[in-house]
Structure 1
């Protein structure tokens, strides 16, 4: 097999293994909430609400990611990206082995933090290596394929997590076999990645973050990305929570398998379309894909809380084969989740390819993706805390309203900054 093709396959495998573990946590998050029963706590004299603790289930992960971005990206550019990638994957093996042992909110949040560092390192280095190995005119296509591999694992992981959780008894003991499976998959992928990738000979001295931070194309995109992080973090995290938590908490109280199908719908649509939309983006430019995908995501997010009303208006069934009794909101919710995947399939490969283009041209592709991650972090850290508050104190629907509006204001800001820096026709030419 051609050496370059083998390296791409190894990186696709890396994305697959990482996505499998990540989506399992997303799918089982409402079950962890019910199992751990988070409640208000007092820390250093401050009273923290149950909503804050729920938010920390996500924010512990994203805060660790934020702290890890700069050292990991700098280390990847300065030293061997392959070594940083394999080390991050090995850390992930340890993190997933710890989750079945988490029996308090604090221990779960700490395990999530360790997972956040591992996911950040593996994600940054795998994307940086894909961007570095690929030719300029094929980057979005290869990135789309890498993301499709991650989404394929997300589909398998979500279905496996939901099915195994229900099969093994729907209690705390059910977590052990699920995370044992994740640990084995990630360990095997770590070994195969180490054996298949060539050592990375690229060495970037200095601190490329400082130069790339002033790049006008990157500034244009980050004006959108900072707000879009709030939208995606809220919507992606709370769709399965909305589907799975009890009606008393504002949810639909579906079983784990039904919850997994809401997650699968988004990932499946994204997986099918990303290689194609990435290829078209390589030919037609980046900006219009980012604008269209982000705007559509916001509009669909606003519609999610109306799933029960849509199901009732259309007279949709409330009982389905295999899944049993649900509600008429289930089919609309799965459909809207799929549309979220369609929307993001336009934005994501175009956005990633732009960062790869600028990083490769200016030196420091890992740092370019590091900037991409850093801009995302404030919104992804704050959004879960905001979502926990809205869920507990205002109403579940407001999580999606805030998420949808954040996406729409993000694309409008992007359009304004893009036009200012690059001219009124930049949306169709850039």
Structure 2
């Protein structure tokens, strides 16, 4: 599921054999090294994705793009094909060496980043967005399925927390680095071959970032192959014999659909957080890519730090009050709060105001996001984990595509109205977040039943 974003059929819960406990071993240096490499790949993906936002205005002027076309690039081109590719890549990750699958993903999105720099019209830009989405689609399912293979259960919560917080901080770092990269390339233009010196800065930036993917591919390939403990291998064999992917979906589709729809409705509005709010700062207040990158990065770091602390505290409180429903309750409160906070966008008076509001929006979103990895991993059996995550991502596709596109369409419709883009963002965010929060709140009992069916011994 989005911010965003996310379970084995009910194996006759009353008669199911208890799941064996994993051997009590600690992860070695190789596992922590692998976690670091996964973070590097995630940061690179964050930079490449953020550059699309930081360079939207220069691309819009060069290629004469409308807001509807920009919304299609972010929704139809990037988000749609990211979702469509997630399940096939999850299937590959469950069957083949995940290192090679992830390395292939980095290669694809790096090539697509370079292709963006060659775009002479909207059509080529859209094709490049598809490639970027397909490449980055592998990050979620492969990472979430690799971490349980690298770390025993006793250390998994710690590893997930480190990865979740570090990757979000990495995204903030990606924004800062992205802006600095754009400025650095502009200043270094005179060092380039004469044939390239006349190209727009946004094209040169995409060319440069496509090359950076090569060393990251080599790093991914240095991760040591994961091996399951004997107990874990027995769990996978027993699970494979007792349940299929199709049986799992048939038994739990209703609850999964409600979880996806709840987060999906919120995602319709929250697409504005990373995609459209920086454009407001650039368009209304004239901020340049480097200023945008620094502002987004600082806002993301502040929102992540505060949101992470609030998320951990909220989980402790919610666990005592609502038990297993705690993750859904935290998400519900986060989405509802974000919807109300978004109204502040109508009253910003400077770029700084936009970044402060962005940090405030991120606080409740991060508070919910830090609990998701463990939920995703616990509700899915090991042999289905990557495919389940992929299926949930595909289920959220209509919402993820609708979000950026809806804001673009509304913005074009009210472009004659002062502050029209901000009005479009608030309208989508308020409606989506509040509706999503209400649906998730109503789904709590079904979510608890799902967890008990999948983990009868817990």
TM-score normalised to the size of structure 1?
A: 0.80
Residues 329 and 441 in structure 2, CA contact (< 8 A), matched pair in contact too:
no
1:87-119 residue CA offsets vs partner (Å, 9 max, x unmatched)? 111112211222211121111111111000000
1:33 aligns with 2:33: no
The residue aligned with 1:56 is 72
Q: CA RMSD in A?
A: 3.1
The counterpart of 1:260, out of the listed 278, 283, 293, is: 293
Residues 92 and 114 in structure 1, CA contact (< 8 A), matched pair in contact too:
yes
Distance 1:75 1:293, change over 3 A: same
Distance 1:127 1:422, change over 3 A: closer
Residues 339 and 431 in structure 2, CA contact (< 8 A), matched pair in contact too:
yes
The counterpart of 1:295, out of the listed 298, 320, 336, is: 336
Count residues in correspondence: 388
Residues 265 and 335 in structure 1, CA contact (< 8 A), matched pair in contact too:
no
The residue aligned with 2:19 is none
Match of 2:202, SS state, is helix
The counterpart of 2:126, out of the listed 87, 109, 132, is: 109
Between the two structures, name the one with larger relative contact order (CA 8 Å, sep ≥ 6). Answer: 2
Distance 1:164 1:88, change over 3 A: closer
Whole-angstrom CA distance in 1 between matches of 2:38 and 2:204: 26
Residues 30 and 240 in structure 1, CA contact (< 8 A), matched pair in contact too:
no
The counterpart of 2:174, out of the listed 140, 153, 157, is: 157
1:391 aligns with 2:397: no
Q: Per-residue deviation at 1:131? A: 4.0
The residue aligned with 1:68 is 85
Alignment of 1:14-413 (within 5 A): 14-38=41-65, 50-58=66-74, 59-136=76-153, 139-166=156-183, 168=186, 173-199=200-226, 208=245, 211-212=248-249, 214-215=251-252, 218-245=256-283, 251-272=284-305, 284=319, 285-308=326-349, 329-360=350-381, 363-394=383-414, 395-396=420-421, 397-413=423-439
The residue aligned with 1:321 is none
Whole-angstrom CA distance in 1 between matches of 2:174 and 2:122: 23
Match of 1:24, SS state, is helix
The more displaced of 179-188 and 399-408 is 179-188
Distance 1:209 1:353, change over 3 A: farther
Whole-angstrom CA distance in 1 between matches of 2:446 and 2:134: 36
Unaligned runs of 5+ in 1: 39-49, 246-250, 309-328
Structure possessing the higher radius of gyration over alpha carbons: 2
1:416 aligns with 2:437: no
Whole-angstrom CA distance in 1 between matches of 2:251 and 2:199: 49
Q: Per-residue deviation at 1:411? A: 0.9
Q: Per-residue deviation at 1:232? A: 1.8
Whole-angstrom CA distance in 2 between matches of 1:221 and 1:136: 25
